[in-house]
Structure 1
Amino acid sequence: MKIKQLFAALAISAITFTGCEKANIDADTSSSDGSAIGEISGVWAKGSTHVIEGDVIIPEGKSLTIEEGVTVLMDTVAKPEFIVQGNLYALGTAENPIKFTVNDFYKTDAHKFGKMWGGILAAPTCAELVLDHTILEYGGATTSDGSTSVKMGLYKHKAGENLPALWFSNLNGKLIVVNSTIRNFQEDCTYIEGGKIIFANNTFYTTGVTGGEAMNFKSGCLADLAYNIVYSANTNALKLSNSGDRTPQAYIIAYNNTMVNTGWRRPSAKGGSIWIESNVHADIYNNLFANTRFGIKRDTKAPEDTRSVISNNLYYGYDQTTVDQFQPSKDIVGGKNEVIGTKAGDNDPKFVNYPVANPVLSPDFSLTWDFHLQSGSPALGKGITTFTRHHAAGITVNGLVYSSPAPATYIGAFGTN
């Protein structure tokens, strides 16, 4: 191990870092560990480690494929941005996920909300982006006037912005995020401004110091969001908006997701589970809300499209304050066939292993928790399956077909074990 580390260190020190330098990892030299800065493309081979010493860019018209088990290690001094002008395919497996991360030394409570690298920023020229069995963690750095993203006019293209884990902005692009985990970020996990999109079977937790959503969608998005678990996002699990007035109108179909303890660290009262606004077309089915601040909440000054449908969702609150904030009102959106009570403790979802008796837990997530449902859960058999999804027939990306999963007859992201 010491010899391997020595060679890695020598490889890093041998590079002269200049603003437009091409990385030493490309299609011809990608079979082993290495370091990268500047332009990157080609294949990063299974099980390799790539140290990102500065901002990297996948050029327009080129692609980077990251194979299973690859570690993308970010330099915490440089705080790199991972910019995608071409295509990115991160193809991990359950046994060997891909990790965009930092050295284990920095994974402490002092760095709980990351800020140690930028994020994956996909420019409008990025046609295809896939994150499959990929972990993004400990990022969300704040931009400065010298940031590459600011100079290139990406994301919000100004200094002082906390970068999301993932930004995507091609109205005609294809974005697939499945079987992945986003954790330990300063603000938003994702900020999506267009494309044909599937988000399925993902986990989001320990995100947002003073604000931020797990999944944030704007105009131009046609998205299916299913079987995701969101724990303790600072504000909302989902923010659904048609802001930006891009074509097509944002149409988000969110079904069979589980949201737990979201919104309770938000210093003000805006949202806490799903927020809908600005004429977004939002269809929301089979979602499970446990100890979230508020039910589905609208911006009363800029409400959702009247064609939106909300149906067959379940709400559980351990205390009366939480239950009261679920009740339909001017700003809390009611739905059809909802499983919603009026008293504290109504509709306990009977998770296999999660302490529902405390509605305001810390943002720390335990991998021992199990959000599957026990026999007798009121969420079983209460889901609806008759609605239409955008991408049931699939989206073809890089020769592979990704389909949005079929809805379940239960409510939430997980049925029984």
Structure 2
Amino acid sequence: MKAKQLMMCLALFTGVFAGCEKANIDVDPDTGNGSAIGEVSGIWKRGSVQRITGDIIIPEGQSLVIEEGVTVIMDAATKPEIIVRGNLYAEGSQAFPIKFTVEEALRTPENKFGRLWGGILAAPSCAELLLNYTIVEYAGATTSDASTSVKQKLYKGKAGENLPALWFANVNGKLVVTNSIFRNLQEDCTYIEGGKIIFANNRFYTTGVTGGEAINLKSGCLADVAYNLVYSTNTNALKLSNSGDKSPQTYVVAYNNTLINTGWRRPTAKGGSIWVEATVRVSIFNNLFANTRFGIKRDTKAPEDSRSLFGNNLYYGYDQVTVNQFQPNNEIVAGSNDIIGTAAGANDPKFVNYPLDNNVNSPDFNTSWDFHLLAGSPALNKGRTGFTRHHAAGITLNGVLYQSPEPSTYIGAFGAN
């Protein structure tokens, strides 16, 4: 009897130990500092440092909560992926943001386009994903046959793909990304294939080697996209599409965004600012385009839904080449009450601190720039309010309500200084 009990205890101990190997190991009970590989869930404690030494998976039906001030350091040697089959809640704060990054020694100009780890990849089983006051940087590695995402047929499910920093693919799911920063990435910052979605008050910069959008939406999305700053994406700031076979039809309300220098580093038909295609339905109001390549551009062979609405957008071009590309035609979409000049320098938005002659081909971002508006800006008091947005009543994630912000009477993401 004693021998049988001993064997049972040994088996139990072995099982517990194996389970610990799958999740956090060597976790300090006081600080919460630890390392992770394999399956993870639970809570990463406020202010802790988590070192990810291989691919991690949040299992279906389980959740990982990341508290404010957590630094998640991804191992650049193994280039891990974060696979979200359950739920992920990264709830930082303005004072203590969460950061997904690499070791400090690797945060160099040579690595400015990342590729040092995979990305946050949410499977169709992921019901809720939150990034609030969260920094995602140095991601976008290229998949191989050994990648977990390839083995599990996630994202595009094949080797040789440059991963987005964030992928979400549940048409019945909820995705909220607010007050966050995406930077130092190889290609797309986000690639979204369905869900109830809010992108608000985010910043996207220093991204895209040879391609990539800040926000790339496919079929199945009901999205509010507002008060985002997008600087010098390689391709578009927003790519809005209903491509794919998912329901519902993608309908995007994009308003009060500030777009700077986007599209010039990919001088092809799709390099620009906002691209609409494939029967996507959009309402695009109160956006400020400064030195972007093209205005709102449609795919003439597969245009947007005829119910789409455009208006109250402002365009500024430092030189005549840029201004000429804003002029409405069959490809370039004009809206009601748009502010579009015909001469270089017209409609100076009067930013508090930004050199309007800045090189449009430079992806480098200066965090001291201030895109608020000085008195006399033509963007003040020209915005439209009162239009319908999807999530004015809010989306509840992990018991917390997140609402898309109300539109403003000014144009752009930032009002008067």
The TM-score with structure 1 as length reference comes to: 0.94
Q: Distance in 2 between matches of 1:401 and 1:370?
A: 30
1:99 aligns with 2:106: no
Whole-angstrom distance in 2 between the partners of 1:141 and 1:299: 29
1:46 alignment partner in structure 2: 46
Q: Which residue of 2 aligns with 1:7?
A: none
- Describe the SS at the equivalent of 1:357: coil
Please tell me the residue identity of whatever aligns with 1:108: T
For residues 56-84 of structure 1, give each alpha carbon's deviation from its aligned partner in whole angstroms, at most 9, with x where no partner exists: 00000000000000000000000000000
Q: Is the 8 A contact 1:90 1:131 kept in 2?
A: yes
- Contact 2:380-2:415 at 8 Å conserved across structures: yes
1:246 & 1:19 partners in 2: Cα distance? 37
Q: Which amino acid aligns with 1:133?
A: Y
Per-residue deviation at 1:29?
6.1
Question: For the structure 1 residues 20 and 113, does the alpha-carbon distance in structure 2 shift closer, same or farther, using more than 3 Å as the test?
Answer: farther
Q: Is the 8 A contact 1:26 1:43 kept in 2?
A: no
Could you say which residue in structure 2 is the equivalent of 1:11?
A: none
- How many pairs are equivalent? 401
Match of 1:68 in 2: 68
What does 1:158-173 align with in structure 2 at a 5 Å threshold? 158-173=158-173
* Contact preservation (8 Å) 1:81, 1:117: yes
* Residue aligning to 2:317: 317
How far, CA to CA, are the matches of 2:40 and 2:25 in structure 1?
A: 7
**What does 1:346-361 correspond to in 2, within 5 Å?**
346-361=346-361
Contact between 1:380 and 1:415, CA under 8 Å: does it hold in 2?
A: yes
Q: 1:306 & 1:45 partners in 2: Cα distance?
A: 49
Matched position secondary structure for 2:379: coil
- Deviation of 1:358 after TM superposition, in Å, equals 3.0
Alignment partner of 1:407 is 2:394? no
1:274 aligns with 2:274: yes
Aligned partners of 1:206 and 1:303: how far apart in 2? 29
Partner Cα separation in structure 2 for residue 267 and residue 285 of structure 1: 26
Task: Evaluate the alpha carbon distance shift between residue 323 and residue 76 of structure 1 in structure 2; reply closer, same or farther with a 3 A threshold.
Answer: same
Q: Distance in 1 between matches of 2:173 and 2:286?
A: 28
Distance 1:48 1:299, change over 3 A: same
Distance apart, 1:260 and its partner CA: 0.1
Q: What is the CA–CA distance in structure 1 between the aligned matches of 2:237 and 2:133, rounded to whole Å?
A: 20
Whether the 8 Å CA contact 2:373–2:414 is kept in 1: the answer is: yes
Name 1:3's counterpart in structure 2: none
My pick for the range that moved more, 296-305 or 355-364, is 355-364
In 2: Cα distance, 1:306 partner to 1:221 partner: 18
Amino acid at match of 2:240: L
Displacement of 1:270 in angstroms is 1.9
Q: What fraction of aligned residue pairs are identical, expressed as a percent? A: 72
Report the residue type matching 1:345 in the other structure: G
CA shift for structure 1 position 23 = 1.3
What does residue range 176-187 of structure 1 map to in structure 2 within 5 Å?
176-187=176-187
Q: Find the counterpart in structure 1 of residue 235 from structure 2.
A: 235
CA distance in 2, matches of 1:19, 1:342: 66
C-alpha displacement of 1:21? 5.0
SS at match of 2:230: strand
Whether the 8 Å CA contact 1:189–1:214 is kept in 2: the answer is yes
Q: Trace 1:180-259 onto structure 2 (pairs within 5 A).
A: 180-259=180-259
**What residue is the counterpart of 2:382 in the other structure?**
382
Partner of residue 150, structure 2: 150
1:68-147 matched pairs, under 5 angstroms: 68-147=68-147
Aligned amino acid, residue 112 of structure 1: K
Contact 1:30 1:42 in 2 (8 A): no
Shift of the 223–343 alpha-carbon distance from structure 1 to 2, 3 Å rule, reads same
Q: Say if 2:305 is the partner of 1:305.
A: yes
Q: CA RMSD in A?
A: 1.8
TM-superposed deviation, 1:360: 1.7
* TM-score for both structures, normalised by structure 2: 0.94
Q: Compute the displacement of 1:195 (Å).
A: 0.4
Q: SS of the residue aligned with 2:339?
A: coil
Counterpart-to-counterpart distance in 1, 2:127 and 2:231: 30
Q: Distance in 2 between matches of 1:80 and 1:315?
A: 41
> Residue 25 of structure 1 contacts residue 41 of structure 1 at CA under 8 Å; is this kept in 2?
no
Alignment match, 1:398: 398
More displaced stretch, 357-366 vs 344-353: 357-366
Aligned-partner Cα distance in 1 for 2:286–2:104: 38
- Structure 2: which 5+ residue stretches go unaligned? 1-17
Cα distance between partner residues in 2 of 1:139 and 1:54:
14
